[in-house]
Structure 1
């Protein structure tokens, strides 16, 4: 690329998938951060962890981190905060005496339902410029890209 003009190089970067995904992520997270606070009184990462536990739980801390796209220490901190708020409970893992499983408390379930409604609303806003057919095609493409890249 040494001989390509700088504008052509910038154009390559600006059209790359990872650059555009990161840009879209940053743009949508700005609004999502406030949406979590307004809808359920939680930070974006704590709200996402609550949504993850409610959607996929019960989960170990490692599973929470994996499903939430966090590292283990971030998942652990979020889990502890949600436990302290009375939204999540820890129970001994039946297969691992040293581990715990995280699940929603009755209050956590109420907050989870509000969270899921907010996530659905945010999703509709983010995809609002696409038709239902375009959304379905994009969703399928994302599924295929994720599966392809998980395989390495």
Structure 2
């Protein structure tokens, strides 16, 4: 192959997926070890703690889970007494999901866990390299319609 014919493992999507798998594995290990929860449950608690009460559709979007997984996981967390469900004031057909006190206790453990994971992911980069990577990723994401909240 010539330099103009990159191999599949040189593509941006391949590399982003590989990095995503590494980050997911690290998150899953930390989530189970520190929180005693599967990663999707920890992600939903993290989203609700960071953004406040919201619909399952919003939770799905913010946690990068498909709607059915977000819905099932939310139901599991409600069953564990970590989340609650109330009718929406704006739309009688939808419900709002909120953290219960035990869910808030877990949320307080998530930020240090995420910081530890990110520190581990970035440890091979200098501060300017981390800034450049964040800038470039934001630029790519924004150019395709993604907006930080």
TM-score by length of 2: 0.90
Displacement of 1:27 after TM fit? Answer: 2.0
User: Which runs of 5 or more structure 2 residues have no equivalent in the other structure?
Assistant: none
- Counterpart position of 1:113: 108
Displacement of 1:28 after TM fit? Answer: 2.4
Match of 1:140 among 130, 135, 138: 135
- Counterpart position of 1:51: 46
- Counterpart position of 1:16: 11
Match of 2:69 among 50, 65, 74: 74
User: Which runs of 5 or more structure 1 residues have no equivalent in the other structure?
Assistant: none
1:33 equivalent to 2:2? Answer: no
Tell me the distance in 2 between the aligned counterparts of 1:89 and 1:67.
18
- Counterpart position of 1:85: 80
Task: Name the SS of the counterpart of 1:98 in structure 2.
Answer: coil
CA RMSD of aligned residues (A): 1.8
TM-score by length of 1: 0.88
Displacement of 1:127 after TM fit? Answer: 0.8
Q: Residue deviations 1:29-66, cap 9 Å, x none? A: 22221110011111011111111111112110000011
Q: Residue deviations 1:100-144, cap 9 Å, x none? A: 111111111110010121011111111111122211121111111
Tell me the distance in 1 between the aligned counterparts of 2:49 and 2:89.
19
Tell me the distance in 2 between the aligned counterparts of 1:44 and 1:7.
39
Tell me the distance in 2 between the aligned counterparts of 1:53 and 1:150.
23
Tell me the distance in 2 between the aligned counterparts of 1:94 and 1:24.
41
Task: Name the SS of the counterpart of 2:125 in structure 1.
Answer: coil
- Counterpart position of 2:57: 62
Aligned length: 146
Q: Residue deviations 1:46-96, cap 9 Å, x none? A: 111111111112110000011111111111011111111111111111101
